[in-house]
A and B are shown apart, each in its own frame.
Chain A
Amino acid sequence: MRALLRDIYSTSHEFVRTFGAFQLFFLRLLQHSPRMLLRRPGLVVKQIYNAGALSLVIIMVCGFFVGGVLGLQGYANLARFNAEDSVGTVVALALIKELGPVITALLFAGRAGTALSSEIGLMKATDQLSAMEMMAVNPVRRVLVPRFLGGVVAMPLLVAIFTCIGLFGANVVSVNLLSVDVGAFWQQMQLSVAMDDIREGIFKSIVFGVVASVLAVWEGYNAIPTAEGVGRATTRTVVITAISVLILDFMITAVML
């Protein structure tokens, strides 16, 4: 019994400690961010390329098919109420407010987040980070901050691209294949999508970008420097990012509604 209590105590103690360490780590990243952005923009650009441009393929393909399936489902189910013309509204609101930011964040965690944390974890396992410290180069500033900033910049842009391609996919499916009127599709959308909806989507994408990037960098930086440890860090990145993004999504939606 006592052993169990001690276990619970030490686990929760460890959890709180990790959480606190994470906050401090986040603050350190933020503290170094403006200077790196001004002084070494080249490093950040390289990471925007890694996190953003290299994720384009998966984002665009997934966006197209997510939009397409929304078009299919929207059409099939709205047709029961003779409201096929509203399919544009349904697809646009779903993509802009929810699916765009959330699915992009999950894909981003899978494509760019894992790459970040395994890269940083491997740098740690091969003592590159320690070598930097020996040379009086701050690895947080030189390695972590540009990767974090790259993710933060890339994510909202990826969300916008995902959403646009999704709308295009829905247009292809419902207008070209299922004969919804093209005017009705876009006009109903424009009538009911307000600027607030787009603002909500952009806000979410910025929050998710920060969360996904900081978690990937954090997991990589704290990986156990072995082959197994790096693998585990990569897995944890995806799992923790997915959980936090979905919980945050619920909270943001609840607050903004």
Chain B
Amino acid sequence: MQQTRSVEIGTGLFVLLGMSALFFLTTQTTGGDSFSAAETYTVEASFENIGSLKSRAPVAMSGVTIGRVTKVSFDAETLEARVRFEIDSQYSQIPDDSDASILTSGLLGSQYIGLQAGGSDTYLEEGSEVYFTQSAIVLENLIGKFLVNAGSGGDE
């Protein structure tokens, strides 16, 4: 009897330990699905260059994730990238003249869309468009500009 009890206790402890390890793995090592809203509204924006923005990338305002990119496509008429993203419906008071820029989290981190609030009285809603956008900073272009500036500066 005593022996069965200790076996049961050992098994119970083992299973609890295993379960908590699983729980730790699923909650602490991933941060991927931090955004999960029941109701969202979809907004679109055109970018000249999206860098390496992927769908499922976060959409953040003041650094807080409020949405997620759902689709990245290329518009053959305007020759620009079309990005569709959804925003949690509880944030329904984002001015429609807000601007969207593609930023990078950390030096080598992944890219995300940062929204900067505008001053308009009308708000973004389902299907509206963000007109003010800023492209991703592509490192090669940046270096190119720097070299051109350095070159022209040296001439004077």
Q: Which of A20-28, A49-57, A215-223, A246-254 is near enough to bind chain B? A: A49-57
Residue of B nearest to A63 (CB): B21
Please determine whether B11 and A190 come into contact, CB atoms closer than 8 angstroms. no
A62 within 8 A of B: no
Please determine whether B11 and A193 come into contact, CB atoms closer than 8 angstroms. no
Considering only residues 1-30 of chain B, those with a C-beta below 8 Å from chain A are 4, 7-8, 10-11, 13-15, 17-19, 21-22, 24-26, 28-30
Please determine whether B26 and A195 come into contact, CB atoms closer than 8 angstroms. yes
A96 within 8 A of B: yes
Task: Give chain A residues whose Cβ lies under 8 Å from the Cβ of B8.
Answer: 45, 49
Please determine whether A48 and B15 come into contact, CB atoms closer than 8 angstroms. yes
| Residues of B in contact, count (CB < 8 Å) | 27
| Residues of A in contact, count (CB < 8 Å) | 36
Please determine whether A198 and B19 come into contact, CB atoms closer than 8 angstroms. no
Please determine whether B25 and A53 come into contact, CB atoms closer than 8 angstroms. no
Please determine whether B15 and A164 come into contact, CB atoms closer than 8 angstroms. no
Task: Give chain A residues whose Cβ lies under 8 Å from the Cβ of B106.
Answer: 188
Task: Give chain B residues whose Cβ lies under 8 Å from the Cβ of A242.
Answer: none
Please determine whether B110 and A157 come into contact, CB atoms closer than 8 angstroms. no
Contacts known (A48-B11, A53-B14); A194 close to B30, Cβ less than 8 A: yes
B141 within 8 A of A: no
A163 within 8 A of B: yes
A237 within 8 A of B: no
Task: Give chain B residues whose Cβ lies under 8 Å from the Cβ of A56.
Answer: 14, 17
Q: State A83–B21 Cα separation when bound (angstroms).
A: 28
Max chain A Cβ within 10 angstroms of own Cβ: one of B15, B21, B105: B21
How far does the Cβ of B27 sit from chain A's closest Cβ, in whole Å?
10
Contact of A198 among B7, B10, B14, B30 (CB under 8 A): B30
Contact of A191 among B14, B24, B31 (CB under 8 A): B31
Please determine whether B25 and A163 come into contact, CB atoms closer than 8 angstroms. yes
Task: Give chain B residues whose Cβ lies under 8 Å from the Cβ of A194.
Answer: 30, 32
Task: Give chain B residues whose Cβ lies under 8 Å from the Cβ of A195.
Answer: 26, 30, 32-33
Q: 1/0 per residue A165-193: CB within 8 Å of B?
A: 00100000000000000000011111111
B108 within 8 A of A: yes
Residue of A nearest to B32 (CB): A194
Considering only residues 119-177 of chain A, those with a C-beta below 8 Å from chain B are 153-154, 156-158, 160-161, 163-164, 167
Q: State A83–B106 Cα separation when bound (angstroms).
A: 12
A46 within 8 A of B: yes
B109 within 8 A of A: yes
Q: State A157–B108 Cα separation when bound (angstroms).
A: 34
How far does the Cβ of B9 sit from chain A's closest Cβ, in whole Å?
9
A92 within 8 A of B: yes
How far does the Cβ of A135 sit from chain B's closest Cβ, in whole Å?
23
How far does the Cβ of A52 sit from chain B's closest Cβ, in whole Å?
5
A86 within 8 A of B: yes
Please determine whether B29 and A190 come into contact, CB atoms closer than 8 angstroms. yes
Task: Give chain B residues whose Cβ lies under 8 Å from the Cβ of A193.
Answer: 29-32
Task: Give chain A residues whose Cβ lies under 8 Å from the Cβ of B26.
Answer: 195, 198
Please determine whether B17 and A157 come into contact, CB atoms closer than 8 angstroms. yes
Residue of A nearest to B15 (CB): A157
Residue of A nearest to B16 (CB): A157
Chain A interface (Cβ within 8 Å of chain B)? Answer: 42, 45-46, 48-49, 52-53, 56, 83, 86, 92, 96, 153-154, 156-158, 160-161, 163-164, 167, 186-195, 197-198, 201-202
21 A-B residue pairs with Cβ-Cβ distance under 8 Å, sorted by A, are A42-B4, A48-B14, A49-B10, A52-B14, A52-B18, A53-B14, A56-B14, A92-B29, A156-B22, A157-B19, A157-B21, A157-B22, A161-B17, A164-B24, A167-B29, A189-B29, A190-B29, A191-B105, A193-B29, A194-B30, A197-B30
